[in-house]
A and B are shown apart, each in its own frame.
Chain A
Amino acid sequence: MIDSTAFVRPKYVGKPIRRLEDPRLLTGQGRYTADIQLPRTAHLAFIRSNQAYARINGINLDEAKTLNGVIGVFTASDFTHIPDIKAVSNMENYQVTSCPVLARDVVRYVGEPVVAIAAISRYVAEDAAALIEIDYDTLDVAVTARDALAKNAPKLHDKLASNIILERNFATGNAPVEIANAPHKVSGRFSLTRKTSVSTEPRAYLADYDVGKDELILYDSTNIPGIVRDEIGHLLNLNGNQIRVIAPDVGGSFGGKGSLYPEEIIVADLSRRLERPIKYVADRLEELTASSQAFGEEVEATLAFDADGQFIALDAEIIGDIGAYSIYPWTAALEPVQVASFLPGPYKTPVYRGRVRGVCTPKPPTGPYRGVGRPMAVFVMERLVDLAATKLNLSKVEIRRRNLVRAEDFPHRSSSGIVWDQSGFQECLETAEKAVSKLNLENRKKKSNKWIGVGYACYAELTGIGSRISVAPGMPMNTGTETASISIDATGAVTAKFGIASHGQSLETTLAQIVGEELGIKPEDVRIIQGDTAFSLHGTGTYASRSAVLGGGAAIKTSRALLIKVKQVAATLFNVDPEQVETGDGLIFVHNTNHAINFKELAQAVYSDMKTLPMEKRETLAAQESFDPFLGTTSSSAHVAVVEIDPETLVIKLQDFIVAEDCGKLINPLVVDGQVHGGVAQGVGVALLEELKFDDMGQPITATLADYLIPTSAEMPPMQVHHLETQLPPNPGGFRGMGEGGTIGAPAAIANAVADAVSHLGLCIDSLPITPNKLHALIAAKSKH
């Protein structure tokens, strides 16, 4: 008998349950796209443009075609049946770019694919590549966004009106007038250099076409399998039931695997044409030169404020160096427009003017990158806030406290139009401040002969965005819905299927915790299926900090619908009212009775045993529900960085890092900590190390990991993460998204800390990454004046 006074239904949500993925992924049992070996596979290598902007005069394929082991050599003329990739937008002042799957007539960035070679191995394909000559005529081009903006700049796309492919204006009140009349103002010109994602696993695609069934399976290292299926289906003229995109284990994306790439279209097409599996695995050189890139922005901004430090108005001119093409499906507006919309941040800034322009340059397309737009927005705003504090001789915490939206102000519509709701803006700052006071920094400063600096950054982000707004400004695609299908099969086992695509977010664990808790079974007994379009009608994937909110919300709704069926069936079996039936820890029971069965017995009664239940009571134990949060949830955080700079060598060392964050109800604190740690590490890269550089001709000069520096464990400081659950949002579960936040706050906090450490030198820290070498140059320039 289950005694109701003694039985406590186990809780799984909120518990630091160890990741269910770990035994597989940590012991080398993960199965990534490159691990999948199919017989008769042909391997692809691409010849990529070595010119930033040039006309293709001719390509000599003769020698390569006859090389032993070469299966086929392809150029743009072999893909005339595939329409160009076009990212359309609802935005006014937006020009669509046409991106052929292989460069046709002209190349527009170093790294653009020009020739595809299929061979019996990647080695042979590369041998063949070495035999191919491409004759280019270099064309005049403006390499930097500033040059490309100029009226007489050569156009990268002949058919477009100019290189400026998007422009959007934000205006609340009259910012120029308010600024002119304000008692105080601070300004700066800030820049964030280009970055790229650097996943451990490079992009990889394997297409397997079944001639008999006329069906294509595409194994794809992507975080948007649903979008890839829908668009490749469109481009190759296949119905959705003829193409199945499977994202197997995916070793990171950080945004880099979140767009549609020419290579995956070519892999899919060639598998059908050659009637054999086709595999392409990018190498590190290709990852660093031909996967989507990030940032590349310059912002000139002014913040006006009164004598108390209360913000009056903000004005910003934003230029985004968007690269050669507007990326599918997000468009080039994704990154720079979000800089403009998130610039006012979590502060009450009543008046705002922002103009953003996206400019085509001969560089790889920019695309999503963890944090999208907000790392730059927060960097600019938080630097301005610190400059304002310095000007008024106000503490860095106090000026933020005075301007952050308060609990009683929610919902607060920011001057860029974003609605912030119920999130611990003030509470995060307060918690961070307390943690800083325990570091005893004054004492540390006294004892040290190094320059020690402290930097704060506060931010808010919209996460789990619903169908009301697109995650990418102007993108005509619904990213605000997720569907869960949960079933109990004939053995009593629970399987939950989603359209999301985990690539490091631990969703197999967190969704199992949610389903387990709702149904009353152990998380490890729930099988989560995701990243496979065969199991979802519509699903766009995992990005934009959406999967916990949308996937988790759908999991709760669907579990509850299924639980009703479970209880109805059990009620019939027990001959009680369904409301008396409880579940927990794998049992279905009625308190204080002997009525108790497990899920296996329930399934047997429903599916197999034809005697126990009358036919009309044999419910199919499955449910499917969708969830759409319509608007979204507000996550917020305060970051603090403590840096130490060696005055002799200018080496910058992060000593401490503090994060106080409010992501609503924590599903699993271990997972949240992991996401914060990883996000901050990426932010450390943004702030101190990572920089894609191009020379005057548009040649990338950071094409290896010896040149493009990513943070390692040695660069990471001790980190404190403080979780706040202030008022929970009204969505099912009360979850908010938090996968990107670490990368959003860290760059600004570190920049402010470096600026604080060198404040006695009067240096402007207005460009990231800031490195010892750049500090040296800044100091040298200052001493010249």
Chain B
Amino acid sequence: MKPAAFEYLRPKTLADALAALDHEDAKIIAGGQSLLPMMNFRLVQPERLVDINQIEQLNQIEKTDTGIRIGALVRHAEAARSSLLAEHFPIIAKAMVHVAHVAIRNRGTVAGSMCHADPSAEWPLLVTLLDGEIEILGNSGTRSAKPFEFFLAPLVTEIEETEILTAIHLPLIANPCRMAFDEIAQRAGDFAAVAVGTLVCVEGNIFSEIRLCLGGVFDTPVRAFAFENALIGQPASVESIEAALPLVLKDLEPNDDIHASAAYRLSLVSALARRVLFDTIDEMM
């Protein structure tokens, strides 16, 4: 379990990093929490590693005109501690405790988790739920992608090998709302069998906005649109949630793996969806 030989570059600027990526089989390394195990198994054998940890402007969490910008090098632990995120997106700190273990949260990055695109991982789910935008820098400038465009398949995104994910933008939510997150893994810190996040806005005792996002049940995080659409405009009550809940499972066909069968995952989706939704209305009522 030793990696094949590779060239190692550590640029100090984004321009240098882009130049370094202009090479066959170059790969960015940030926290290394997913890449290094794969390299040790020789499942990936990049010829060149471009270490972006020295690029200072990438490690900020900052407020912009429209939302919060989380730099590519922000670690899970930093996101969990951020007062700015706690103020606007308290769901992030709730989700971060489920990301592996302390040592991994100290090293692993938000952008790394996005690029690794594990369908059970917390960040892809959060960014999908919060309708974030992914900021990508390439030789022709900066572009942005929505999560449903960005995530293509398990461990596959649409980012080019010559591009750098520089930040995640999370737009502020205009209306007062509640968010909740929960997941089930066989052990604390394991990849989730199922993870569920929700965002609920209630105006005049009516659900004005509902988002429910599921991880671990499809190739990418998925929104339960049928359920959401059925609930919007309904009275904000346990009864309306229960009535719409079967729609969460609509069209879901999760895979079996050695830790969780498809049937078990579906049962978890129902249980966790109910749990997070009740959490949000408990807080409001």
Contact = CB atoms under 8 A, between A and B. Distances in A.
A431 B100 CA distance: 39
Nearest to B41: A285
B261 A776 contact: yes
A772 B186 contact: yes
A130 B258 contact: no
Interface stretch (A238-246, A618-626, A631-639, A699-707): A699-707
Interface string A749-785: 0000000000000000000000111001100100000
B194 to A, nearest CB: 9
Contacts of B271: 648-649
Given A123-B5, A712-B189, A776-B263, A701 B258 contact: yes
Q: Which of A283, A648, A689, A702 has the most CB of B within 10 A?
A: A648
A773 B1 contact: no
A177 interface: no
Contacts of A711: 187
Interface string B2-16: 111100000000000
B275 to A, nearest CB: 8
Given A130-B42, A649-B272, A773-B259, A709 B5 contact: no
A263 to B, nearest CB: 15
B187 A709 contact: yes
A715 interface: yes
Contacts of B3: 123
Given A122-B2, A649-B272, A773 B188 contact: no
Given A693-B258, A773-B260, A777-B264, A649 B184 contact: yes
Interface string B27-42: 0000000000000011
**Chain B at the A interface: mostly helix, strand, loop or mixed?**
loop
A162 B268 CA distance: 46
B261 A284 contact: no
B2 A702 contact: no
B268 A649 contact: yes
A649 B184 CA distance: 8
Q: Which of B2, B260, B267 has the most CB of A within 10 A?
A: B2
Contacts, number: 69
Contacts of B268: 649
Interface in B23-69: 41-42
Contact of B267 (A284, A689, A776): A776
Contacts of A649: 184, 267-268, 271-272
Interface in A261-290: 283-285
B187 A702 contact: no
Interface string A677-699: 00000000000010001000000
Contacts of A122: 2
A707 B258 contact: yes
A127 interface: yes
A706 B190 contact: yes
B181 interface: no
A285 B275 CA distance: 38
A441 interface: no
Contact of B189 (A707, A714, A776): A714
A651 interface: yes
B89 interface: no
A38 to B, nearest CB: 20
B191 interface: yes
A126 interface: yes
Nearest to A647: B271
B166 to A, nearest CB: 29
A715 B258 CA distance: 20
A771 B131 CA distance: 35
A701 B259 CA distance: 11
A19 B116 CA distance: 44
B35 to A, nearest CB: 15
Nearest to B184: A649
Interface string B159-172: 00000000000000
A130 B263 CA distance: 40
B5 A285 contact: no
Nearest to A710: B187
A130 B187 contact: no
B2 A126 contact: yes
Contact of A123 (B2, B193, B274, B275): B2
28 contacts: A122-B2, A123-B2, A123-B3, A123-B5, A126-B2, A126-B4, A127-B5, A284-B1, A648-B275, A649-B267, A689-B186, A702-B258, A706-B190, A709-B186, A709-B259, A712-B187, A714-B187, A714-B188, A715-B188, A771-B259, A772-B264, A773-B186, A773-B193, A776-B261, A776-B264, A776-B267, A777-B261, A780-B263
Closest 10 CB pairs of A and B: A714-B188, A648-B271, A283-B1, A776-B264, A123-B2, A126-B2, A773-B264, A773-B260, A649-B271, A649-B184
Interface of B: 1-5, 41-42, 184, 186-191, 193, 258-261, 263-264, 267-268, 271-272, 274-275
Interface of A: 122-123, 126-127, 130, 283-285, 648-651, 689, 693, 701-702, 706-707, 709, 711-712, 714-715, 771-773, 776-777, 780
Given A707-B258, A773-B259, 14 more contacts: A127-B4, A130-B4, A285-B41, A701-B258, A711-B187, A715-B187, A715-B188, A771-B186, A772-B184, A772-B186, A772-B264, A773-B193, A773-B261, A773-B264
